[in-house]
């Protein structure tokens, strides 16, 4: 995930915590308990001794272990390959469900689900536990054992949550699959991890239309002889093909199974999930995550960045196939909070969908991508202000770049100027945040306060030297709880991707900047970086300048080869409203960006388009834009939701040559 802004937009401090926020804060209590006095004091102590920090944080989180830990890591294999919690035993399901049995949380709501048509279901912790046990026992009956890989190709349903927990409960490794994937994307991932079972549904609803899943799964499984069973949830009621002996209805297998089951006492570093992330070229990367890794990091970050506690109701607009899906499930449950799931989209059946959800379910923590706000802003503030959002306590954002206007709209209109926006950036391989904002500190528009506690982060130049007041590579100097245990069956690729640039240093692939006031900014992916007339610049800086023009709602900047400049900038923009003369407006935007950033960075072209290629969680895919414009192969594109947008750009590119 990457969030960003430009260097001159921070004119004020938008958020300062009141005393009630400070008194409530888990992070503040941790700072005081460790004698660190301030956030900066805590971060300095983390940098000096990160293992000390994780010992303190784990004691504060008070999770339940089968066999307690005595040390955080063994670094005999080097920083890229720590041995986590040697000799300890931890299964995250014990902390997510088992420990609540018979207690005050048992009868409280664990999850609230909304379908595409606004139908709802709720499950208490006790009901979720029973469904999880039934699913685990059904998987055992199908022959699934500890260490087996199970693909989950589902939208966000209550059964989706139970399926992920069921895999963890029996020690199997689940593989989240984006619900919008095509057959080849599913096949390649299941083949890479040698999965033996796939859990899917007949279909689901999206924008009022039926989306088939089982036919896509069938096509993928035609070439996967190792997958012995396909467990199918009846969701849409659509007829679907059936392979006897392989296909099993969820209601036949799960409903009849026992609601009681033992949680496997897995080793702390046993894998529980393989989370695939698309690569620019070649096959996707399967980040391996362990029981005492990703779930603990998710719990940690929700607790200390977002201040989620047992009285909170958390909604994050995501799919299971993106890291925020498993992150929400593990983190919310392990904190004893209530999670909200949405099967559908944020603008169906109307553009007020998110705001009415906040009102209906009394959501306290609302997380979305900045591009969702940009898409909803044109519908106006009235539909937001007509709903009751008094339950909101914190707003979350991740996944893409912020611009000042949308950030302000989210803060002032949605959050009524009283909810901090927790800007949060990290990635699939890190299990969550590297940098974040916090409820207890001042927040400047679009900024990050600094590193998430536990993360020894820095910004460095090409030679690995710290940079302040300029753009550099975002790096991590020490391991952290939640760090991927490498890439599935690909040790060399893992080392080359993250550890080869500087000695004993994780290079994340983001450009970042720490300004003179100490605020952090992510400037975009370093592989998206443009070099124009000798100057390196992240696309987000150009995009923010373009979006500041009144005729532009959204923008994506790419670099194209230029004989003298190195890169020439082409900016693709979506209009804020109807435009009378596209050519005149394009030139006006081009000149406007030049006036903002300097003549050397004036775009070569500004191209108006109807849509931009993006993932379902609204992240713009710049590499696809560039490949389409230059008529090059797109590379790995399974995460791309709107292929038509890329094809339209390809057609425009061909017409200009």
pLDDT tens column, 522-560: 877 776 667 665 555 668 778 888 998 999 999 999 888
- Element containing residue 630 per DSSP (H, E): none
- Are 651 and 553 found together in one domain? yes
Range of the domain at 76: 26-96+268-460+471-522
DSSP string, 332-389: HHHTT-EEEEESS-TTSS-TTHHHHHHHHHT-SEEEE-HHHHHHHGGG-SHHHHTS--
Q: Is 354 inside any structural domain?
A: yes
Say yes or no: 502 and 642 in one domain. Answer: no
Task: List, in sequence order, every beta strand (DSSP E) within 6-119.
Answer: 73-74, 83-84, 109-114
Last residue of a domain, one of 194, 225, 253: 253
Of 198, 228, 253, the residue at which a domain comes to its end is: 253
Rg of the chain in Å (alpha carbons): 24
In a shared domain, residues 92 and 114: no
Q: 542 near 603, Cβ under 8 Å?
A: yes
What CATH number does residue 159 fall under?
A: 3.40.50.980
466 in any annotated domain: no
pLDDT tens digits for range 242-256: 999 999 999 999 999
Report the relative pairing of strands 247-249 and 271-277 from DSSP bridges.
unpaired
Instruction: Judge whether 341 and 325 are in contact, CB under 8 Å.
Output: no
Residue 332 forms part of a structural domain: yes
Does residue 637 have a pLDDT over 80? Answer: no
Same domain, 221 and 298: no
The rounded distance, in Å, linking the Cα atoms of 520 and 512 is 7
Residue 9 included in any domain = no
Q: Looking at residue 583, which CATH number applies to its domain?
A: 3.30.300.30
Structure tokens at 559: 């670099």
What is the crossing angle of helices 125-141 and 158-170, to 10°?
A: 60
Q: pTM score, two decimals?
A: 0.85
Residue partners of 20: CB distance under 8 A and separation at least 6: none
Pairing of the two strands 530-532 and 535-537: antiparallel
Quote the tokens at residue 466: 């710290």
Do 305 and 158 fall into the same domain? no
Mean pLDDT (whole number) for 47-55: 98
Query: What's the CA angle centered on 596, arms 590 and 602, to 5 degrees?
Result: 35
434 class by beta-carbon count within 10 Å (0-12 exposed, 13-18 middle, 19+ buried): buried
Residues 349 and 497 in one domain: yes
- For residue 527, the model assigns a pLDDT of 65
pLDDT (average), residues 17-29? 97
- For 63-77, give one letter per residue: b (16+ CB within 10 A) or e: bebbeebeebbeeee
Location of structure tokens 């036949």 = 252
Of 253, 287, 322, the position where a domain reaches its end is 253
**Is 159 found in the same domain as 61?**
no
Query: 437 with 447: CB under 8 angstroms?
Result: yes
Say which CATH number the domain at 378 has: 3.40.50.12780
| Position 12 confidence tier, pLDDT thresholds 50, 70, 90 | confident
Q: Is residue 365 domain-shared with residue 405, that is, in the same domain?
A: yes
Burial 332-369 (b: 16+ CB within 10 A, else e): bbbbbbbbbbbbbbbebeebbbbbbbbbebbbbbbbbb
Q: Does residue 382 fall inside a structural domain?
A: yes
pLDDT for position 281: 42
Report the pLDDT value the prediction gives residue 353, as an integer from 0 to 100. 97
The DSSP letter of residue 412 is: I
Q: State whether 368 and 517 are in the same domain.
A: yes
Q: What percent of the chain has pLDDT over 70?
A: 93
21 is a domain residue: no
Nearest to 492 by CA among 147, 175, 149, 80: 80
pLDDT of residue 536: 58
Kindly state whether residue 102 falls inside one of the protein's structural domains.
Answer: no
Using CA of residue 591, residue 596, residue 600, residue 606, what is the dihedral sign? negative
Q: Are residues 295 and 422 in the same domain?
A: yes
Check whether residue 513 and residue 603 sit in a common domain.
Answer: no
381 within a domain of the structure (yes/no) = yes
Kindly state the helix (H) or strand (E) to which residue 244 belongs, with its residue range: none
149-153/197-201 β-pairing: parallel
Largest CA distance in the chain: 71
How many structural domains compose the chain?
A: 3
| pLDDT of the residue at 528 | 67
pLDDT, tens digit, for every residue of 432-465?
999 999 999 999 999 999 999 999 999 999 899 9
Asked if residue 347 and residue 477 are part of one domain, the reply reads yes
Q: How far, in Å, CA of 235 to CA of 211, rounded?
A: 10
């Amino acid at each position: 995930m990457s969030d960003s802004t430009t260097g001159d937009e921070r004119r004020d401090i938008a958020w300062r915590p009141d005393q009630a926020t400070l008194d409530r804060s888990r992070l503040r209590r941790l700072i005081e308990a460790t004698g660190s006095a301030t956030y900066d004091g805590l971060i300095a102590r983390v940098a000096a001794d990160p293992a000390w920090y994780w010992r303190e944080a784990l004691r504060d989180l008070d999770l339940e272990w089968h066999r307690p830990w005595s040390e955080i890591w063994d670094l005999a294999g080097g920083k890229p390959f720590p041995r986590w919690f040697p000799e300890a035993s931890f299964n995250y399901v014990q902390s997510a469900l088992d420990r609540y049995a018979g207690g005050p949380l048992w009868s409280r709501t664990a999850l609230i689900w909304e379908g595409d048509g606004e139908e709802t279901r709720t499950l208490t912790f006790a009901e979720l536990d029973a469904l999880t046990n039934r699913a685990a026992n059904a998987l055992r009956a199908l022959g699934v054992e500890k260490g087996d890989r199970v693909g989950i190709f589902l939208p966000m349903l209550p059964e989706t949550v139970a399926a992920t927990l069921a895999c963890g409960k029996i020690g199997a490794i689940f593989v989240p699959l984006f619900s919008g994937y095509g057959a080849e994307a599913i096949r390649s991932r299941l083949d890479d991890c040698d999965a033996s079972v796939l859990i899917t549904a007949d279909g689901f609803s999206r924008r009022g239309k039926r989306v088939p899943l089982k036919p896509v799964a069938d096509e993928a499984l035609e070439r996967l002889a190792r997958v012995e069973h396909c467990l199918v949830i009846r969701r849409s009621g659509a007829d679907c093909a059936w392979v006897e002996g392989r296909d099993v209805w969820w209601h036949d297998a799960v409903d009849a199974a026992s609601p009681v089951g033992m949680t496997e006492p897995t080793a702390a570093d046993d894998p529980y999930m393989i989370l695939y992330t698309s690569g620019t070229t070649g096959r996707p990367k399967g980040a391996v995550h362990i029981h005492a890794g990703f779930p603990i990091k998710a719990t940690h970050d929700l607790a200390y960045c977002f201040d989620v506690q047992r009285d909170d109701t958390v909604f994050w607009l995501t799919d299971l196939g993106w890291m925020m899906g498993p992150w929400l499930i593990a983190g919310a449950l392990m904190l004893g909070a209530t999670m909200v799931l949405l099967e559908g989209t944020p603008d169906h059946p109307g553009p007020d969908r998110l705001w009415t959800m906040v009102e209906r379910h009394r959501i306290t923590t609302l997380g979305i991508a900045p591009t969702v706000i940009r898409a909803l802003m044109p519908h106006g503030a009235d539909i937001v202000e007509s709903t009751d959002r008094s339950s909101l306590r914190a707003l979350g954002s991740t996944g893409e770049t912020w611009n000042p206007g949308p950030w302000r709209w989210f803060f002032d209109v949605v959050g009524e100027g009283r909810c901090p926006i927790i800007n949060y950036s990290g990635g699939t391989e890190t299990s969550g945040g590297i940098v974040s904002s916090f409820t207890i500190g001042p927040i400047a528009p679009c900024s990050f306060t600094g590193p998430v506690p536990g993360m020894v982060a820095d910004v460095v130049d090409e030679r690995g030297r710290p940079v302040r007041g300029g753009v550099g590579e975002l790096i991590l100097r020490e391991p952290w709880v939640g760090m991927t245990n490498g890439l599935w069956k690909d040790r060399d690729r893992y080392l080359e991707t993250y550890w080869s640039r500087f000695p004993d240093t994780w290079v994340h692939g983001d450009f970042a900047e720490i300004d003179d006031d100490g605020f952090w900014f992510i400037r975009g992916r370093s592989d998206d970086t443009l070099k124009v007339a000798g100057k390196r610049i992240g696309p987000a800086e150009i995009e923010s300048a373009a979006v500041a023009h009144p005729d532009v709602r959204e923008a994506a900047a790419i670099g194209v080869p230029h004989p003298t400049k190195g890169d020439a900038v082409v900016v693709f923009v979506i209009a804020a409203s109807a435009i009378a003369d596209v050519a005149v407006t394009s030139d006006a935007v081009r000149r406007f960006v030049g006036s903002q950033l300097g003549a050397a960075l004036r775009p070569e072209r500004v191209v108006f388009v109807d849509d931009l290629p993006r993932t379902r969680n609204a992240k713009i895919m710049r590499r696809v834009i560039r490949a389409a414009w230059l008529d090059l192969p797109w590379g790995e594109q399974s995460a791309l939701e709107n292929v038509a947008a890329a094809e339209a750009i390809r057609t425009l590119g061909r017409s200009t040559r």
